[in-house]
Structures are given as C-alpha cells and as structure tokens.
A and B are shown apart, each in its own frame.
Chain A
Amino acid sequence: MKLHEIADKLELEKLTPVFDKEVTGVYISDMVSDVIANAKAGNLLVTVQVHANALAAANLVDVCGIVVAQGKRPADDVVRMAVKAEISVFATELSRWQVATKLYEAGLR
C-alpha cells in the first residue's frame, strides 16, 4: 500500500509533501533508541515524539513516513529536515491506538 493511500484513508494532515513510498509495515514508538534498534526500512512510524532526534532516527532506519499523533506538531526546523530527507510527515488528532486501529482496518499488517 502506498503512503498517499494511507494518508487519504486516515485523513491525515500533510505537514510535508508526500514522498510516495510503499509502506511495508507499521512501527509505533516514542523512543529514539527503540526506533533505531527495532524499526524496519519502509515502516510507517507512528509517534508523539517531535524532537529532531526522532527524525534523525527515522532517517537512519529509512522509515517511509511519520504520523505524529495526538495533535502534536513538530517544529518548523524538524519539518524542514524531513523534507530534505524526503520523509513524509503527517499530523493527526487521533491517538496512537486509534491510528493503529485505522491502519489495521486499512489493510496494513
């Protein structure tokens, strides 16, 4: 499933252009170290973490995009970093649990 399809289905707010990539799975974490150790390339990262280091970790492991849940919003400089790394960042008022549920309903496993 492509990133833009997920963004449309979940009605995610686009904070960056959509760099459309295939989504291979989902990883939910708010810890930089956990993302580095366990997330896989192509995963969609669901988080409430908005620190620049989260973007740095997401880029290191090559996640396909980031969904920032619970109404959190990264600072403008973090969004600019994401654009340079061609990582799509989305925002939503949904909780991480609600995002996970909707991603499952959308067909992601």
Chain B
Amino acid sequence: MSNEARTPRYELADVQPGYVIIEREMYSKAARSYFSTEPVPPKEPYREGSQVWSFWEMAQSFRFAVRDNTTGEVVKFDELLGLLYYASCDPDSDLYRIGELALENRIFIYVAITYEAPDGSRLNISMDKLAILNRAFNQRLRTAEKKILILPDYFGLYNEMSYGQVMLDFGLTAMEEKAASPSKEGAR
C-alpha cells in the first residue's frame, strides 16, 4: 500500500481562518499581537493603566489544532503566532548559522513564535506540543532525507524580529518584497 493511501497519523484540524491583530503602545512604541476571527479590529485607542494601546496593523493567518488519528486526541495551538524560517533572519545571527549547519544534513529549521502574554512576556509552548507539531509537519514531507525541525524561541527572537519575518499574510496577500510591519525594537 502506498503512503498516499494510508490515513496519516497527524492531520491539521479545526483550521480557523482569522487575523493577527498588532497593536502599538502610544508612548513606548511597544508592540503586541493577538488572534481574532473578526475582520474589523477595534480602531479606537484604549487605556491600560498608564499605557495607551491602539491598532497598528493586521495580517491574515489561521489558528489550528493537530489531530492524532491513532488516539483521536486533538491538540490546539492557540498560543502559536506563527513560524519563522531561519533563512529569514540576519545572516550574522546564531539562528542563521545553526540553520546553515542543519541544512547540510537536509534539516530545515523553523522557530515557533508565540503570542504575547498580558504581562508582556511570551506565552509558553510545551515541548510535548512542539514534538507533535514536528511530527505533523514531518509526516507531510515527500522528499527523501528532508526533515523539518521546529524549535522553541530559545534565541529570544521575539525581542528583535519584525512581524513581517513571521510567516503571516500582511495586507491582503503581502505581495511586496519585504512585508512592512512594526519592528519589535524597543518594545520592551
């Protein structure tokens, strides 16, 4: 029996189209994001203590779960903002250098970037869930010897990246060569 004929163990499930809404704080210029299924984000600035947050930009994206067809278990990935491909990073960065080393063994590195928590920290994604995510994407591959490795953000990329580096659809289709989005510089 061919691989195509078998039901895959892992499948993306409960795929929910929506939007990553990015807000910016008026004074510090800090940025933060959240997922919304509503196409119209709140445009009015609002106050949180001494901070004033307002809508900055939005990108089309999706939220999903992974179903394990052998157990029926469905694991949600609501904390996942998106994946960042190592090659989208600065060639002088540690991640890029590690990515190039891994590439020699046909391993392609992505980093799981999570949403911000209300206190400004990052939401956690457990190693168990990352293992499931890695299995799900690797199971989809056809090219021999190719592997996908999705890592947690051990690199603190969220402090330096722009949202345009994460695999999101800015604008309607983000056909510009470099997606414009607020930098995280000085965000915290």
Is B175 in contact with chain A by the CB < 8 A criterion?
A: yes
CB <8 Å contact, A62 and B175: no
Q: Which of these, A41, A59, A72, contacts B85 with CB under 8 Å?
A: A59
Q: What is the minimal beta-carbon distance from A96 to any residue of chain B, in angstroms?
A: 12
CB <8 Å contact, A56 and B173: no
Q: What 1/0 flags go to B152-170 for Cβ under 8 Å of A?
A: 0000000000000111110
CB-CB < 8 A to A40: which residues of B? 140
Chain B residue total in the interface (Cβ 8 A): 33
CB-CB < 8 A to B61: which residues of A? 33
Residue of B nearest to A41 (CB): B142
Q: What is the minimal beta-carbon distance from B98 to any residue of chain A, in angstroms?
A: 14
CB-CB < 8 A to A64: which residues of B? 142
CB-CB < 8 A to A62: which residues of B? 140-143, 146
CB <8 Å contact, B167 and A49: no
Bound-state CA distance A49–B168 (Å) is 12
Is B103 in contact with chain A by the CB < 8 A criterion?
A: yes
Bound-state CA distance A57–B110 (Å) is 10
CB <8 Å contact, B175 and A48: yes
Within 8 A of A (CB), among B121-143: 137, 140-143
CB-CB < 8 A to B103: which residues of A? 84
A residues bordering B, Cβ < 8 Å?
Answer: 21, 24, 30-33, 36-37, 40-42, 48-53, 55-57, 59-62, 64, 72, 75, 78, 81, 84-86
Query: Can you show 27 pairs from A to B with CB atoms below 8 A apart?
Result: A24-B142, A31-B169, A33-B17, A33-B168, A36-B62, A36-B83, A41-B140, A41-B141, A41-B143, A49-B174, A50-B175, A51-B174, A51-B177, A52-B87, A53-B85, A53-B167, A53-B168, A53-B179, A56-B167, A57-B167, A59-B108, A60-B83, A60-B85, A61-B137, A61-B140, A62-B140, A81-B87
Give the 6 A-B residue pairs with the shortest CB-CB distance, closest first. A56-B85, A41-B142, A30-B173, A62-B141, A53-B167, A33-B62
B residues bordering A, Cβ < 8 Å?
Answer: 12, 15, 17, 60-62, 64, 83, 85, 87-88, 103, 108, 110, 137, 140-143, 146, 148, 165-169, 173-179
